[in-house]
A and B are shown apart, each in its own frame.
Chain A
Amino acid sequence: MADALVKQVQLACEKLDQVILGKSQQIRLAVTCLLSSGHLLIEDLPGMGKTTLAHGLASIFGLDDSRIQFTSDMLPADILGVSVFDAASGGFVFHPGPIFTQLLLADEINRTTPKTQSALLEAMEEGQVTQDGETRYLPEPFFVIATQNPLTQFGTFPLPESQLDRFLMRINLGYPSPEAERALLMRGDQYSRRDRVSAVMSPETLAQAQKACQSVHASADLIHYVQRLVQYTRDADSFSYGVSPRGALALLRCAKSWAWLNDRQHVVPEDVQHVLEAVVGHRVRAAEDMAGHTATRLVNELLSSVDVMASG
């Protein structure tokens, strides 16, 4: 039964490969993030396919989605919704905002003010929205896929470390390979529209898959490895701060999902290594660089400094 579920998810991934060419790693990471019930942050330049990926994910898993394009003049109410006086009923009626959806695409999250950012991030963390003294639950499942531009661009409000930590993963798409790009150019943009992708899964099967992911076995040796990795980020001089316990939990959760996605019932160190940069990259910062553009270098250092086979 598990096998069928895995096959379904793998099929979904293959379908997504058709939509975004040459990015199968990133697609699988994004799917892993969904399987781990975490929120995803995609960071890249405009036009790299961020939105396409988000739409693709939403349609393939059969989730309803909505999209917010963040701008600098947005207010929290624009996301959460407002209560408006209705003369007919003689009371206030809540008009839910775009956040009341299963998959929310928050485009260019770093373009808006911190006030609005934090309204969204609070909702992400709590899974609920409280307005006018009334708590309203967000639908299940609830995913946020946020995209952001690199911070060096003008007119951005960088997310603080505490809020970056709310995202389970951060991935970069990057430029496509020459082959993929040639294929993309030959095909034209006919596939970029979302209605060309049909759903292969329902939210219910996604919930089952999520459950299955967390039942993957992680041995004591593997947990040791995860702990050593995390410990290194705290001890080494090249890191200005290390990974939090929440980060460590996230790493293990993602590794489990990755193992499951690769049709294994146990986690191996390779799984951890695969998801390491996506999970840890936005949670660490190099000592000498406060702009946060050295994640890859740091993760490489981390990988080559912690011996995967060290006993104990």
Chain B
Amino acid sequence: MKRTQTGVDKISRSAVIWQLIACVAVVLPLFSWLPAWVLLLGLGCIGARLMIHSGRWSFPHWSIRLVLVVAVGAGLLMTFNRDASLNAMVALLTVGLSLKLLEIYRRRDALVLLYVALFVAASVFLFEQGILVAIYMLFAVLLVIAALVSVWQDPLREEMLRPLKHAWRLLLPAFPLMLVLFFIFPRIGPLWSVELDRSSARTGLSESMSPGDISRLTRSDELAFRAVFEGAPPAPAERYWRALVLSAFDGREWTPGASSSVVEELNVIGESIQYEIVQERSNQRWLFALDVPMLAPQQARLTSPRTLLGHAEVSQRIQYSVESARQYQLGAELTSDQLDFFSRIPANSNPRSQALARQWFDEADKDVSGLINRIFRHFNETFVYTLEPQPLGRHSVDDFLFQTQQGFCEHFASATAVLLRSVGVPSRIVTGYQGGEWNASQNYLTLRQYDAHAWVEVWLEGQGWVRIDPTTAVAPERIEMSAEQLFSGQAGFLADSPFTSRIGRQGWLLQARMQYDSLNFAWQRWVLNYHHQQQNLLQDWLGDLTPWKMILVLLIPASLILGFISWRLFGRRTIQDPIERQLHKLFFKLEKQGLYRQPDETLKRFSQRLEQTHPELAMILMPVANTYETLHYLPVDQAHQRKILMDCINQALKQLK
């Protein structure tokens, strides 16, 4: 008996397994972003579907499904507290995907599931854009496509790997198309945007500085930014990355204070240095530049003390180039109001420090550099540079100078500035980063949160603002080596970072890490931030961009690839046998005259039929029909008869012309 075709749209058993694999593949990279219960629900649904698959359970009743939907909805509301953040949306999507798993039975269900899975796959990139994730997602998409193929395959075919092979063959020709689109498809800004979850904001420098702020940053190895140099980078001791200037002191905390709108004047001495910065998301407005930036990039403006303030918060990775002066004279001419502002200090704060400063200033014969030397000597004698200083009280500088005598860069910077201000010398704190890890293979410096630093600028008559770094007095190796080398033995260093970033800081592991880092950086620069280069590239190729040129550039590769695919698809059907090919030509000629051979007509009967209406054509066709019949149905010498038939057909073709 013939197979009866029941349940046409029921998907095969292996297709069900494929659906499960595809779902696991797309949800897996989201696991650190989703609430734990969502993942548990997903696992539960997969388990339940497997139980159904093996026939131990039956499909859930509608009431069970209803209860599940209500419970999951309530769970989402409770978890995200009615906060429609991105995480909530992705969690909703994932939950929907998990619940739909329970229902897959018919082709329609499977298609819904897979389309949602593709959506979830895309949403992964909202959280993570690294090269490994990108490679993984390519693989996940391959699995989803395989699942899609499996949905359409014959329910009786149970070969598990066939859909995967098929999907691979489908995606392979799409790959060049993907590259072409990547290179030339115009990047369009988002039409709408969703607020990213605030709680995931990164650690980093903050608007103000109180003792302990910066040493806390050393607990993290998160990337702050990278700087790419054309040639050699500045020496480690000159790598001061200026982020913001703090000028107002309230006795404990430094804040930027009221700033003037006039940018301090900069006299460049000698040559400048040019570089490009790729800054990670910080959710803050300021950008970074080597001491001291000459001009602001287009994303930012220069503040009065020559720091870069972005026009908007850095909510995603940005790229900009800056030019900095290496030797300079900054703000040589300040008004007395300004000088007064920079030497202001609350009168009743840190009394002992103020007294000490006055005493030293007198000892140094009112010479500012003498005072600075005295301060530095003092630091050098008894002070300890540590990541985990003891907490300080209300008079933080007094506590630091006279009791704890241990601190991190911000303690020394703060104390130095307070001491200077106590005797009326204008000074201010600069925070930013210092140093950085040099990656020679790609010519860039990597600055991480543990490279955060604070130093002092003191204003000297005739010289303007001069950078002094009290940290060099107590721990010169902090400036000469990297922060990482210095602190790697200390307890608090990288305490908040995953274990993996604490190992591999030497030998071949370090090498491998550097290699991976430069790969990732190249990925970020050339793939994720490609739109910068794209415009230049397209302009180089095409001159002025007109819509017509764009369309042409898009159409040519697309049609090439489509042409290749169709050649592969239909080109294979060309007839191998030369006789058959010639016969097809013959039939094609007759078809052009409206004469079609019926499937049940042999050549002979066809030409007999033609005799009635087109005797002249029948005359041409008859010899072909006879030799064809002889070749195919008579016991004759095949090779010889083929030759005769070939001649016959060619003759007929000639006569038909």
Contact = CB atoms under 8 A, between A and B. Distances in A.
Interface of A: 217, 219, 221-222, 234-235, 237, 239-242, 266-270, 273, 303-309, 311
A49 B597 CA distance: 37
B640 interface: no
B634 interface: yes
Contact of B599 (A241, A306, A311): A306
A308 B628 CA distance: 13
Contact of A273 (B5, B597, B600, B633): B600
Contacts of A307: 599-600
B598 interface: yes
B497 interface: no
Contacts of A234: 2
Interface in B597-625: 597-605
Nearest to A217: B635
Given A234-B2, A268-B629, A309 B602 contact: yes
B556 interface: no
A241 B1 CA distance: 6
> Considering the complex of A and B, which 9 residue pairs feature the smallest CB-CB distances, nearest first?
A303-B600, A307-B599, A221-B632, A219-B633, A266-B634, A217-B635, A269-B602, A268-B633, A266-B633
24 contacts: A217-B634, A219-B633, A219-B634, A222-B633, A234-B2, A235-B2, A237-B5, A240-B2, A241-B2, A242-B2, A266-B634, A268-B604, A268-B629, A269-B633, A270-B604, A270-B605, A273-B600, A303-B599, A303-B600, A304-B600, A305-B599, A307-B599, A308-B600, A311-B577
Interface residues of B, number: 21
A164 to B, nearest CB: 17
Contacts of B605: 270
Interface string B520-535: 0000000000000000
Contacts of A311: 575, 577, 580
Chain B contact residues, majority secondary structure:
loop
A160 B633 CA distance: 36
Contacts of A240: 2
A309 B604 contact: no
B635 A266 contact: yes
Given A219-B635, A237-B5, 5 more contacts: A219-B634, A221-B633, A242-B2, A304-B600, A308-B601
A269 B633 CA distance: 8
A237 B575 CA distance: 29
Nearest to B630: A266
A14 B633 CA distance: 28
Nearest to A303: B600
A183 to B, nearest CB: 27
Contacts of B603: 309
Interface centre among B1, B2, B577 (most CB of A within 10 A): B2
Contacts of B635: 217, 219, 266
Interface string B1-21: 110010000000000000000
B633 A308 contact: no
A214 B599 CA distance: 28
A25 B440 CA distance: 95
Contacts of B575: 311
Contacts of A268: 602, 604, 629, 633
Contacts of A309: 583, 597, 602-603
A234 B1 CA distance: 8
A308 B1 contact: no
Contacts of B583: 309
Nearest to B628: A309
A269 B600 CA distance: 9
Nearest to A224: B632
B9 to A, nearest CB: 17
A309 B632 CA distance: 10
A235 B598 CA distance: 21
Contacts of A217: 633-635
Given A240-B2, A241-B1, A222 B599 contact: no
A222 B577 CA distance: 18
Nearest to B632: A221
A221 B1 CA distance: 27
B577 A270 contact: no
A304 B633 contact: no
A294 to B, nearest CB: 17
A273 B580 CA distance: 23
Interface in B553-591: 575, 577, 580, 583
B644 to A, nearest CB: 16
Nearest to B597: A309
Given A239-B2, A311-B580, A306 B600 contact: yes
A304 B2 contact: no
Given A239-B2, A241-B1, A267 B599 contact: no
B4 to A, nearest CB: 10
A234 B580 CA distance: 28
Contacts of A269: 602, 633
A308 B583 CA distance: 14
Contacts of A222: 632-633
A102 to B, nearest CB: 34
B439 to A, nearest CB: 63
A266 B641 CA distance: 16
A220 to B, nearest CB: 9
B627 to A, nearest CB: 13
A270 B607 CA distance: 13
Nearest to A273: B600
Nearest to A239: B2
A222 B630 CA distance: 12
A218 to B, nearest CB: 8
A258 B439 CA distance: 89
A308 B629 CA distance: 12
A304 B599 contact: yes
Contact of A270 (B2, B5, B597, B602): B602
B592 to A, nearest CB: 19
Interface string B406-430: 0000000000000000000000000
A64 B600 CA distance: 41
Nearest to B587: A309
B599 A308 contact: yes
B520 to A, nearest CB: 56
Contacts of B1: 241
A311 B601 CA distance: 14
Nearest to B605: A270
A268 B625 CA distance: 12
Nearest to B5: A237
Contacts of A266: 633-635
Contacts of B601: 308
Contacts of B2: 234-235, 239-242
B3 to A, nearest CB: 10
Nearest to B1: A241
Contacts of A241: 1-2
Contact of A219 (B5, B600, B632): B632
B633 A267 contact: yes
A308 B599 CA distance: 6
